[in-house]
Amino acid sequence: MTIQTIENLVKTIAAQVLDQPIGALDMYAPVRHDDMTRINDATCMALNLNISTLDATQHPNLGRYVQMVQEERSKQ
């Protein structure tokens, strides 16, 4: 899966969790803890990853979270 595809998947999941259109997402706006938890759970299921809630919520925004997901995916 390409980097762009991973970013698009996370954006799609985040848009659903945050109830916003994808185009309205600000990748560098803060994301609430409970929302990031739900985004992480759905992303891990979709990509078959094991990222802890603690690790996911250490990233303050979607942009940083996407970077972490890409790094974890590249380890597989």
Range of the domain at 45: 3-74
Which residues of the chain have a pLDDT value below 70?
1, 3
pTM equals: 0.92
> Into how many domains does the chain fold?
1
How many Cβ atoms sit within 10 Å of the Cβ of residue 5?
11
CATH number of the CATH domain containing 21: 1.10.1200.10
d(CA 69, CA 53): 13
- The string of DSSP letters for 37-73 reads HHHHHHHHHHHT----HHHHHTS-BHHHHHHHHHHHH
Q: Which two tokens stand for residue 18?
A: 């945050």
pLDDT at 58: 93
pLDDT at 4: 76
